[in-house]
Amino acid sequence: MIIRYPSTRLRRRRQAPWIRDLTQETELSCQDLIWPVFVHSATKSIPIPSLPGQMRWCVDDLLKQAEALAMLGIKAIALFPVVDPIHKNHHGSFAFNDKNPVILAIQKLKQAQLPLGIISDVALDPYTSHGHDGLLTPCGQVDNDKTVTQLAQLGLILAQAGCDMVAPSDMQDGTVGAIRSLLEQHHCHHTLILSYTAKYASAFYGPFRSAVGAAKLGVHQAPSDKRSYQMHPGNTDEALLAAQLALSQGADCLMVKPAMTYLDVVYRLRTETQTPLFCYQVSGEYAMLKHYAQQTAADAAPLFYESLLSCKRAGAHGILSYYAPEMAKYIADLNATEQAFSKKTVSKHY
């Protein structure tokens, strides 16, 4: 087929909203969104300086937020604990404490029976004094197999508290399989596993680490340096191998993280695996867009819309974004404006 100007003029399809809407290839909806949230044990919610607009929620406020979120049509909430430094130690033992704020939040959310999936992170970094995702060997490396055993226990506790989907983000080898077999042994076969398959050793996690209070040491020291377990930013074949491993161990969904700088990986995993795929617009991406909007007095919503739409276009089924509630409101407003407009034009003509 020969495509030539002027018989083909692409602007014909761009001239008015009706034809632009009809020919739009990818759409973003509230149903694509997951909201990552921070929960702490204090009785009041407090703002997170590194993530403008985000809070460390107390459990009661989080419940109210979750109700509002479900009304907006968002499908799931992803929980991260913020632990008081006095409760942190080398082994991250507070993860297993009854007072772990994530466990309390899961129990309350479950009781509320909202039409909202409850996802919980499985890693030790919010609980350890050193900020690594697992247990350390005497020479300071993360001990893969000991960590995996510990995380399987954490996955089970979260599932037993009522968590619908556990999301190991630790990047050790074998975590998914260890969690899956422990869940099976304890008859928790309904619990979904979201594997952080392609989690890159990224420079975009800074605001999250301040939010959960994971200490920041020198550039080549823990926990800024997690390169001995997170994936190298230059690799994509490795992401495919990791996906095969995760699926063989019982993962239900896969994740790519961060999002904007790894959309090629999203595309590859989507086309080369037959598995639902999520991506995570991480704290640094969120802060970057927020600060840009602030600095240039731009409206943040269209910036986020475009960036989240690009995740959909690359092939993500779901997107974790700190901006999710605001985006859901923005999408609802866009739809309402369009409906009001078409009602007006229809009544004028008929």
Contact positions toward ligand PBG, by CB under 6 A? 121, 123, 125, 133, 169, 205, 208-209, 223, 226, 282-283
Cβ proximity to ligand PBG, 204 vs 330, nearer residue: 204
Cβ proximity to ligand PBG, 4 vs 79, nearer residue: 79
Cis, bond preceding 325 (omega within 30 deg of 0): no
Other CB atoms within a 10 A radius of the CB of residue 25 amount to: 6
- Per the annotation, the verdict on 216 as an active-site residue is no
DSSP for 180-200, written as a single string: HHHHHHTT-TT-EEEEEEEEB
| Distance of closest approach, residue 246 Cβ to ligand PBG, in angstroms | 16
- Per the annotation, the verdict on 64 as an active-site residue is no
- Exactly one of 75, 88, 226, 257 is catalytic; which is it? 257
Residues linked to residue 7 through DSSP beta bridges, in sequence order: none
- Exactly one of 75, 199, 226, 290 is catalytic; which is it? 199
SS3 288: helix
| Distance of closest approach, residue 169 Cβ to ligand PBG, in angstroms | 4
Q: 5: number of CA atoms within 13 Å, CB side?
A: 4
| Distance of closest approach, residue 10 Cβ to ligand PBG, in angstroms | 38
Distance CA 155, CA 181 (A): 11
Distance CA 198, CA 245 (A): 11
Greatest Cα pair distance, the chain, in angstroms, is 79
Torsion of CA 14, 20, 25, 27, to 10 degrees: 130
Q: Beta strands of 85-151 (E only): which ranges?
A: 117-122
| Distance of closest approach, residue 261 Cβ to ligand PBG, in angstroms | 12
Cβ proximity to ligand PBG, 18 vs 292, nearer residue: 292
Cβ proximity to ligand PBG, 93 vs 332, nearer residue: 93
Contacts of 202 (CB under 8 A, 6+ apart): 230, 233, 257, 258, 261, 282, 284
Cβ proximity to ligand PBG, 225 vs 332, nearer residue: 225
| Distance of closest approach, residue 54 Cβ to ligand PBG, in angstroms | 10
| Distance of closest approach, residue 283 Cβ to ligand PBG, in angstroms | 3
Cβ proximity to ligand PBG, 32 vs 121, nearer residue: 121
DSSP classification of residue 94: G
Contact present, 319 and 278 (Cβ < 8 Å): yes
Q: Show which residues are catalytic.
A: 199, 257
